[in-house]
Chain A
Amino acid sequence: MAAAGSVRAALQVAEVLETVVSCCLGPEGRQVLCTKPTGEVLLSRDGGRLLKALHLEHPIARMMVACVSSHIRKTGDGAKTFIIFLCHLLRELRAITDKEKDSFFSENIQTHGRHWKNCCRWKFISQALLTFQTQVLDYVMDHYLSRHFLSIFSSSTKERPLCRSSLEMLLRAYFCGRVGRNNHNFVSQLMCDYFFKCTACESGFEEVLELVDDCFVELKVGVTGLPVSDSRIIAGLVLPRDFSVYCPADGDIRIVIVIETIQPPFSTFGSEFILNSEAQFRTSQFWITERTKAIMKYLQKQNVKLLLSTVKQPDLVIYCAGLNGISVVECLSSEELSLIQRVIGLAPLVLPQASSQYELSNTAMVKFCKPFILRSKRYVHLGLISTCSFTPHCIVLCGPVQGLVEQHQDALHGAFKMLRQLFKDLDLNYVTQASDQNCTSSPLIYKNSRESNDLPEIVNGSIQRPYQDTVVKNKDELAKTQTYLKAYSNLVVPSVELETNILCSTPTVTLTATYQTDATLRCFSPNKARIMDDHEPFIESNSANSTTENTRREISYENLQVTKNGRKGSILPVRDKSLEMCTSQSYCFSSVPAGCVLPVGGNFEILLHYYLLNYAKKCRQSEETMVSMIIANALLGVPKILYKSKKGNYSFPQIYIRALHALQTNQPMISNQTGLESVAAKYRLLTSVLQCLTNILTIDLVINIKRQPQEIYDQDSDEEL
């Protein structure tokens, strides 16, 4: 069975989803109760989670959900806005086609030919959208919007001190959309306290965020049955298990980590132990006992007071530990182990072969280790002494039901993700955008590395010609690679291909383009500066370095290295280098610097709406005007919903008119909101939605297959492995 994939169908789906998510949007949003197949109940206001919980059947809906979840994975926020925005875009598109239909087709017959014609039209529009995203959006962001940006840092010096009050505002706005109404302030305060307690020094907060984001599950303790207000922050690390042996000790405590049983086993895997007599058995058992004792004695001599073990230790070890005054915690999970290792930088203990006398190398100190009782359940409480900028603290999250605890936990985790994104620079050119994606899909690189081997040659071959030809030809060539790039970005997984292309085009530019060509190039393309965004850094580097012949050679040499390495199939490290070069130089061109924020309440949307309309008025091409108008109008959807329940002076039309007036007269916009939100997150959201929309528009037919789903093996990656 096949169904026509059309905007109409997509809009229907999106509208249904919109009604579900819009009830949870913003500070006035409400909760949704989800049940799991196991019977557990979960409270949520997290758009991504809700969409997943719906288990949608409709193919277009599933595609939308997939797009949303990939966006969420990257940024940790914005699922609800995603759906609302997408829905409004589709609505605008339909409005346009309806208008056209009235004028062109008087008959209402859906012929086959018309369907295909329609599809062609959608294809055009989707291309226009893409051009918009790559050219207009970045331009508008950089030229107009950037003057409204605020920063979360209290000053713009190198060390970038964080401003506590603005961080609080940012977090409160975030939690307004994520947790229940009466807990906004409490949870955001808790998170803020936690963040500042964990950050030892001013500068290390990025490292802290990374660690907390990675290991958040280990850093929280959920407790049900207590009121939410009992949640608190505890210094040190809390492990959800009891001591196997606990020996109280004072002062700093020396610890070791073991990842195998201390008592040697009778036989190891793959070996045979042949017993020939009872005496042999007795002696071997005696040896095992003695050896275990010796090791424990040794540990005691080295003043070790706490043993952390990833495996269950035999009774004998526990007994000996107790005799030697060593506390033992068993069965640490690998995540806990890696967290502890990251915090204190301690490698697992390698058991000494003989009863050696040398000093134990792999030890660390903790301030305290004691049992910790929460709701009559026992935990291990460790006061780790951190070697990085993260000062270990744990959050105890309380709530009357598990569902609520989980909601708060998810919201906190998402908030850390969001902060992590916020403190990164967002480059507006397309190359670095791709590099972001690459970080998440690194295994794919191996897959495609072989393909990349051939590409340089092809491109190199094509370079030969323009080198001898005129400058104009050269420019054409560049434009060609440019379109090549753009065409690729259409795909769902463009990152890898893009990456290889960039790598290949890097040598082309630096090898062939002379200083003069660069200059002419720049003359040729002042209008299209945006398209050239990703090439600019290289042009720049050339113009900077071309004063002497030598340095340029160095560059080309380096680029040759790139291709060579590419052949070996290990693209990863080199790519980093070339990318670094590229980002560091494009920095001054166009980027949203780290920590950029705007007040909440649709400020970003209204601003962008205003400037897009302005832009649309100015531009000549009808396609571009249309797309800009569509996006500008769709942007207003979010603030409309946010102010739905407000009346009088705070209703949406009032706010909108006031904002427009302020913008026209160049006055500062006055906002009655106290929260802040990240600009980079909004920008990313916008681009993700546009990509999703182009995906939807390019589908012309949905084919329904009635067959058991099969597991898909990634054959290429299998080969590589």
Chain B
Amino acid sequence: MSRLEAKKPSFCRSEPLTSERVRATLSVLKGIVTSCYGPAGRLKQLHNGLGGSVCTTSQSAALLANLPVTHPILKILTTSVQNHVSCFSDGGLFTAILCCNLVENVQRIGLTPTTVIKLNKQLLSLCTSYLKSEACGCRIPVNFSSTQILLCLVRSILTSKPACMLTTKEIDHISTLILRAFLLIIPENAQDHIILGKSIIVPLKRQRVIDSTVLPGILIEISEVQLMKILPIKKSDSFKVALFCVSLSGDLSDTGEGNVVVSYGVSLEIAVLDQLLNLGRQLVSDHVDLVLCQKVIHPSLKQFFRTHHVIAVDRVGVAVMEPLSKVTGTRPIGSLDSISPSSYGSVKDLCTAKFGFKHFFHIIPNEATVCSLLLCNRNDTAWDELKLTCQTALHALQLTIKEPCVLLGGGCTETHLAAYIRHKTRSEPEGILRDDGCTQTELQLITEAFCSALESLAGSLEHDGGEVLTDGKYGHFWSVQADSPSVVNWPDLLSRCGCGLYSSQEELSWSFLRSARPPFVPQTCLPCEATDSAGNLTLDCFTAKLSGLQVAVETANLILDLAYVIEDKN
């Protein structure tokens, strides 16, 4: 009988945002995420005092997963960022910083939550509709006939993760690998809707990054002892494959709910082994060349296979079962007797390979939509970071296929968007205020808060004490090194804007981002030649950033709307 226990009363607090403690914790969190942002971001070392490995990172996924958060409001913020990251992989820090900035800025104004939320929502829909429109000045359509833009996208993602500890050369190498891995999983004969294959990341730690490589097909790691047992593979242009999902170890599968009584002298092991050997005989007579098993193969059966020149690999694990059955065209076999010939598949080639200190069994399929990305890095933490980054980049590429455009990175999208919103709310406030019962003054206040949140987000890319500027024509983002002379031939000090699209050769009337500026009309519609000519752009994934923006504003609205916090102390 369970013991009933009286529940402790909960703890209830009103107007949580007004308390000093909450503000302090929020600004601590903001400090943490802001300092991680961008290529020059600082790394965070997370270690548990009770033991376990040390994690060095600047990525939101790793950071927030390991960061213990106690206050409910912070929990809302971090979980919403984590959920965003698990959907889109990219843009976690962007979301977190924007949300913090918004909450902070709006609180300073002191308007009622109702007005704030309404207007924030209006401004958000203004942003999204602009970003989705053709006229958007910070969006580049992706031309799939050249890899230039995709490569820039991957490179931008790699550069923005300093904890991977990569040199420029290594970044180039890895970005080409990622792009190649991505191109390998696109099926060749695409019909109306594409089903992408899978790229499997194979760990190879404590090796040089340059040794990383991409191979079509699947790599299965095997021990050296197993490798010795595998006979030299005969030359052939096709191998017949059988893939088992049941255990071939000879254990008795479940016997039902009742009892099974075995008389003395009856050996079930022998009976089962007989059955297994029968199975082996059938496989041999069907001319199977390769037997793969998810679970364990009985040693006697293995021996039997070896004598009949059949390669057997067991314990491949459930993770590779799906890609295996996909590339080989087999149906995972769940029966120990009488196998239908239709369940067999085939592969083009088999070989064993050694990378670093590990041995692999390499399965090369006829039609490759599965590839293996062998990823090397110097130490464990850097490898973990690199793996996450590669997954992010691959995901970003997939999202780009769905929505074929990218956004300008390096802070330019944010400043441009802020300039656009400022201009829009100044020039046609009636359209935004339609029937909300809000005044123009309120709109101007919220717009200022919203835009400065975006701008200080862009500004947090600069960590080395430099100045951040914006121009008066495109609304792009420029940064100057710290110890530069105060005044002032700007074109000499600046080289290119944050995304690398424009150079400082033009006269663009720069001004400090933090200072007050007259609103201007940012130039919309990117000229085509600008995107083609520029070699090395910094780009962001469109879908991830757009959704990040929406999630950030929605979460900020949620937090601002809180009237009470009830904490269950049980």
Q: A711 and B4 in contact (CB under 8 A), knowing A37-B570, A271-B258?
A: yes
* Chain A residue contacts of B270, Cβ below 8 A: 278
A286 close to B566 (CB less than 8 A): no
Among B7, B79, B87, B557, which residue has its beta carbon within 8 angstroms of that of A402? B79
B11-26 vs A, CB cutoff 8 Å, 1 = contact: the mask equals: 0101010000000000
Closest chain A residue to B261, Cβ basis: A274
Whether, in the assembled complex, A649 has its beta carbon less than 8 Å from a beta carbon of chain B, the answer is no
Q: A277 and B72 in contact (CB under 8 A), knowing A55-B7, A182-B117, A316-B335?
A: no
Question: With A and B bound together, what is the CA distance between A525 and B86 in angstroms?
Answer: 72
A314 close to B563 (CB less than 8 A): no
Q: A319 and B331 in contact (CB under 8 A), knowing A55-B10, A278-B270?
A: yes
Segment of B27-35, B171-179, B248-256, B501-509 in the binding face: B248-256
Question: With A and B bound together, what is the CA distance between A219 and B449 in angstroms?
Answer: 40
A1-43 vs B, CB cutoff 8 Å, 1 = contact: the mask equals: 0000000000000000001100110001111111111010101
* Chain B residue contacts of A24, Cβ below 8 A: 563
Among B4, B80, B113, B555, which residue has its beta carbon within 8 angstroms of that of A30? B113
B83 close to A323 (CB less than 8 A): no
B554 close to A273 (CB less than 8 A): no
A624 vs chain B, min Cβ distance (A): 40
B274 close to A315 (CB less than 8 A): no
Whether, in the assembled complex, A448 has its beta carbon less than 8 Å from a beta carbon of chain B, the answer is no
Whether, in the assembled complex, B50 has its beta carbon less than 8 Å from a beta carbon of chain A, the answer is no
B567 close to A35 (CB less than 8 A): yes
Whether, in the assembled complex, A235 has its beta carbon less than 8 Å from a beta carbon of chain B, the answer is no
B271 close to A282 (CB less than 8 A): yes
B320-342 vs A, CB cutoff 8 Å, 1 = contact: the mask equals: 00000000000111111110101
Whether, in the assembled complex, A156 has its beta carbon less than 8 Å from a beta carbon of chain B, the answer is no
Segment of A208-216, A220-228, A555-563 in the binding face: A220-228
* Chain B residue contacts of A278, Cβ below 8 A: 266-268, 270-271, 274
B111-155 vs A, CB cutoff 8 Å, 1 = contact: the mask equals: 011100110010000000000000000000000000000000000
A260-279 vs B, CB cutoff 8 Å, 1 = contact: the mask equals: 00000111111111111110
A349 vs chain B, min Cβ distance (A): 20
Whether, in the assembled complex, A229 has its beta carbon less than 8 Å from a beta carbon of chain B, the answer is yes
* Chain B residue contacts of A661, Cβ below 8 A: none
Question: With A and B bound together, what is the CA distance between A181 and B116 in angstroms?
Answer: 11
Closest chain B residue to A270, Cβ basis: B258
* Chain B residue contacts of A54, Cβ below 8 A: 9-10, 12, 566
Question: With A and B bound together, what is the CA distance between A273 and B256 in angstroms?
Answer: 10
Instruction: Provide the main secondary structure of the chain B interface.
Output: mixed
* Chain A residue contacts of B337, Cβ below 8 A: 286, 289
A269 close to B257 (CB less than 8 A): yes
Instruction: Tell me the residues in window 540-570 of chain B with beta carbons closer than 8 Å to chain A beta carbons.
Output: 547, 550-551, 554-555, 557-558, 561-570
Q: A266 and B333 in contact (CB under 8 A), knowing A55-B7, A227-B550?
A: no
Q: A267 and B260 in contact (CB under 8 A), knowing A225-B551, A278-B270?
A: yes
Question: With A and B bound together, what is the CA distance between A270 and B256 in angstroms?
Answer: 10
A180 close to B83 (CB less than 8 A): no
Whether, in the assembled complex, B40 has its beta carbon less than 8 Å from a beta carbon of chain A, the answer is no
Give the residue among B113, B266, B335, B570 with the most A Cβ atoms within 10 A: B335
Give the residue among B16, B245, B259, B569 with the most A Cβ atoms within 10 A: B259
Among A36, A43, A227, A316, which residue has its beta carbon within 8 angstroms of that of B551? A227
A266 close to B256 (CB less than 8 A): yes
Instruction: Tell me the residues in window 487-517 of chain A with beta carbons closer than 8 Å to chain B beta carbons.
Output: none
B570 close to A400 (CB less than 8 A): no
Whether, in the assembled complex, B246 has its beta carbon less than 8 Å from a beta carbon of chain A, the answer is yes
* Chain B residue contacts of A318, Cβ below 8 A: 334
A659 vs chain B, min Cβ distance (A): 22
* Chain A residue contacts of B1, Cβ below 8 A: 711
* Chain A residue contacts of B222, Cβ below 8 A: none
Question: With A and B bound together, what is the CA distance between A400 and B76 in angstroms?
Answer: 9
Question: With A and B bound together, what is the CA distance between A23 and B12 in angstroms?
Answer: 13
Q: How large is the interface on B (under 10, 10 to 19, 20 to 34, 35 or more residues)?
A: 35 or more
Question: With A and B bound together, what is the CA distance between A709 and B7 in angstroms?
Answer: 11
* Chain A residue contacts of B342, Cβ below 8 A: 323
A228 vs chain B, min Cβ distance (A): 6
A227 close to B547 (CB less than 8 A): yes
Q: How many A-B pairs with Cβ below 8 Å?
A: 224
A289-328 vs B, CB cutoff 8 Å, 1 = contact: the mask equals: 1000100000000000000000000111111101100000
Question: With A and B bound together, what is the CA distance between A322 and B329 in angstroms?
Answer: 13
A687 vs chain B, min Cβ distance (A): 29
Whether, in the assembled complex, B231 has its beta carbon less than 8 Å from a beta carbon of chain A, the answer is no
B261 close to A181 (CB less than 8 A): no
Question: With A and B bound together, what is the CA distance between A54 and B7 in angstroms?
Answer: 10
Question: With A and B bound together, what is the CA distance between A640 and B488 in angstroms?
Answer: 62
B84 close to A225 (CB less than 8 A): yes
Question: With A and B bound together, what is the CA distance between A314 and B331 in angstroms?
Answer: 16
Whether, in the assembled complex, B495 has its beta carbon less than 8 Å from a beta carbon of chain A, the answer is no
A273 close to B9 (CB less than 8 A): no
Question: With A and B bound together, what is the CA distance between A322 and B253 in angstroms?
Answer: 20
Instruction: Tell me the residues in window 380-401 of chain A with beta carbons closer than 8 Å to chain B beta carbons.
Output: 400-401
Question: With A and B bound together, what is the CA distance between A375 and B547 in angstroms?
Answer: 13
B72 vs chain A, min Cβ distance (A): 5
A19 vs chain B, min Cβ distance (A): 8
A273 close to B245 (CB less than 8 A): no
Question: With A and B bound together, what is the CA distance between A277 and B9 in angstroms?
Answer: 66
Among B8, B75, B246, B554, which residue has its beta carbon within 8 angstroms of that of A400? B554
A55 close to B568 (CB less than 8 A): yes
B258 close to A272 (CB less than 8 A): yes
Closest chain A residue to B565, Cβ basis: A33
Whether, in the assembled complex, B226 has its beta carbon less than 8 Å from a beta carbon of chain A, the answer is no
Question: With A and B bound together, what is the CA distance between A269 and B259 in angstroms?
Answer: 8
B24 vs chain A, min Cβ distance (A): 18
Question: With A and B bound together, what is the CA distance between A316 and B284 in angstroms?
Answer: 21
Question: With A and B bound together, what is the CA distance between A248 and B398 in angstroms?
Answer: 25
Question: With A and B bound together, what is the CA distance between A31 and B14 in angstroms?
Answer: 11
Question: With A and B bound together, what is the CA distance between A289 and B340 in angstroms?
Answer: 13
A225 close to B9 (CB less than 8 A): no
Q: A36 and B568 in contact (CB under 8 A), knowing A286-B337, A289-B335?
A: yes
A709 close to B9 (CB less than 8 A): no
Among B10, B257, B259, B564, which residue has its beta carbon within 8 angstroms of that of A23? B564
Give the residue among B112, B253, B255, B262 with the most A Cβ atoms within 10 A: B253
Question: With A and B bound together, what is the CA distance between A316 and B550 in angstroms?
Answer: 48
Whether, in the assembled complex, A70 has its beta carbon less than 8 Å from a beta carbon of chain B, the answer is no
Question: With A and B bound together, what is the CA distance between A285 and B73 in angstroms?
Answer: 60
Whether, in the assembled complex, B275 has its beta carbon less than 8 Å from a beta carbon of chain A, the answer is yes
* Chain A residue contacts of B189, Cβ below 8 A: none
Whether, in the assembled complex, A404 has its beta carbon less than 8 Å from a beta carbon of chain B, the answer is yes
* Chain A residue contacts of B117, Cβ below 8 A: 181-182
* Chain B residue contacts of A23, Cβ below 8 A: 14, 563-564
Whether, in the assembled complex, A708 has its beta carbon less than 8 Å from a beta carbon of chain B, the answer is yes
Question: With A and B bound together, what is the CA distance between A314 and B10 in angstroms?
Answer: 47
B561 close to A709 (CB less than 8 A): no
B547 close to A226 (CB less than 8 A): yes
Q: A265 and B87 in contact (CB under 8 A), knowing A229-B550, A289-B335?
A: no
Q: A403 and B76 in contact (CB under 8 A), knowing A180-B557, A315-B335, A319-B334?
A: yes
B566 close to A272 (CB less than 8 A): no
A268 close to B256 (CB less than 8 A): yes
B433 vs chain A, min Cβ distance (A): 16
A351-385 vs B, CB cutoff 8 Å, 1 = contact: the mask equals: 00000000000000000000000011000000000
Question: With A and B bound together, what is the CA distance between A31 and B117 in angstroms?
Answer: 12
Question: With A and B bound together, what is the CA distance between A286 and B278 in angstroms?
Answer: 13
Listed by A's residue number, 30 A-B pairs whose Cβ atoms lie within 8 Å are A32-B564, A32-B565, A34-B566, A35-B72, A35-B75, A35-B565, A37-B570, A39-B75, A41-B76, A50-B564, A50-B566, A53-B10, A54-B9, A55-B568, A181-B118, A225-B85, A267-B260, A271-B258, A273-B255, A274-B263, A278-B268, A289-B338, A314-B253, A318-B334, A319-B343, A400-B80, A400-B84, A401-B76, A401-B83, A709-B6
Contacts A265-B255, A269-B256, A273-B260 aside, 4 further interface pairs with beta carbons under 8 A come to A181-B561, A265-B254, A401-B76, A709-B6
